[in-house]
Amino acid sequence: MKILRNYILSEFLKAFIVSLAVFTFVMLAGNLAKIMDMIINKGVEVFYVLKLLLFLIPYLLSYTISMATLCATLLVFGKLSSDNEITAMKASGLSLYKIATPVLIVGLIVSVYSLYLNDRLVPKAHLETRKTMRDIGLKSPSAYIEAGTFIRSFEDYIIFIYEINGNRLKNIRIYEPQKDKPTRTIVARRGEFIPIPEKRIVKLKLIDGTTEEPVPNDPANFYKLDFRTYYMTLNLEDPKKTSGNIKKKTKDMTFRELKTEMKEVKDEGILDVDPILTRIHKKIAISFSSLAFILIGLPLAVRTHRSEKSIGFGISLVVLITYWLLLATGNVCAINKILPPWLAMWLGNIIFMAGGIILLYRTAKR
């Protein structure tokens, strides 16, 4: 049994590593076009781009680990079944449960590691990505913003720019919402970003435009002022509030921090904490998807009797699409309070695990 166990685990781990490398590379390659654009067209330093790539890997692994687990299960057990090795094992007195146990244990170990990955590494990488993007914005503002969209990254202002060419801008609209007052508007035909990274600010030079200035005796109203050149100072964060640090979003938080956030929200009189609960259960459910994929993939592989890699990848694709659709459906159900957050996020795992156990039982009896 020890020789057999080592053989199955060896085949499984080899297929898992190859699948993990392939899936991670494919997903990473999907971001290369955007990254190359940052280097070639927007002049971002290679150092920052490499940092973004590094911080992207934990996020990708949170998905590709479970995908690789499923693919490895289908490939290995599909091959064992097509070569009649499972039949031979059963003839030697080994049940399918004993054959599957080593891989199920590996699936449990992988799920526990994924839980650590999703709790500690992914939030930290996400926060570091935001910090890196802020640093990029301070040195190369044009790489931080996008033409044709409302830009809310700068403190106190909403900016819309029709055309961006390096640090040169055309047709600029700047809005300054003010409490209990009309929104102030600044319009300019041309402009230019002047980064001052050492002071953590960006100067905006506006050329040929109009600005609305408050009436001295009636600040609630504005008068229009034409200008040839006008300078503005833009902050990517409020120094008084952040002290140079970025405020964490729920994506940047560990389980402990999410629970603290939930308590603080309740203390402020907000009783609806379902969005935070949904985030917590989503991280846990995705972590244990590896175990769910092994449970459903193993009997499917044995029943198909196919060793071709194309068949394995094809079944993997169908299973993965179904799972992510269930996860997305659960997310919608949680947001609209159709299902409690834990059930909504675990819906895919419950269906796959239950279906896998039933299929495994029926396959073992054959």
Query: Between 106 and 213, whose confidence is greater?
Result: 106
Q: Please report which confidence band the pLDDT of residue 240 belongs to, taking 50, 70 and 90 as the band edges.
A: very low
| pLDDT for residue 310 | 62
| pLDDT for residue 245 | 61
Q: Is the pLDDT of residue 9 over 70?
A: yes
pLDDT tens for each residue of 279-301: 999 999 999 999 999 999 999 88
| pLDDT for residue 50 | 87
Q: Is the pLDDT of residue 244 over 60?
A: no
| pLDDT for residue 151 | 81
Q: Is the pLDDT of residue 242 over 50?
A: no
Residues 6+ apart with CB under 8 A from 195: 138, 139, 140, 141, 167, 202, 203
For range 19-38, the mean pLDDT: 84
| pLDDT for residue 308 | 55
Query: pTM score, two decimals?
Result: 0.78
Distance CA 245, CA 224 (A): 37
What mean pLDDT, rounded, does the chain reach? 85
Q: Is the pLDDT of residue 237 over 80?
A: no
Distance CA 311, CA 151 (A): 46
Question: Range with the lowest mean pLDDT among 120-124, 200-204, 272-276, 319-323?
Answer: 200-204
Q: Is the pLDDT of residue 217 over 90?
A: no
| pLDDT for residue 239 | 45
Helices (H) and strands (E) in the chain, counts: 13, 6
Cα–Cα distances in Å, from 169 out to 85, 234, 300, 347?
A: 67, 15, 57, 48
How far the first Cα of the chain sits from its last, in Å, is 21
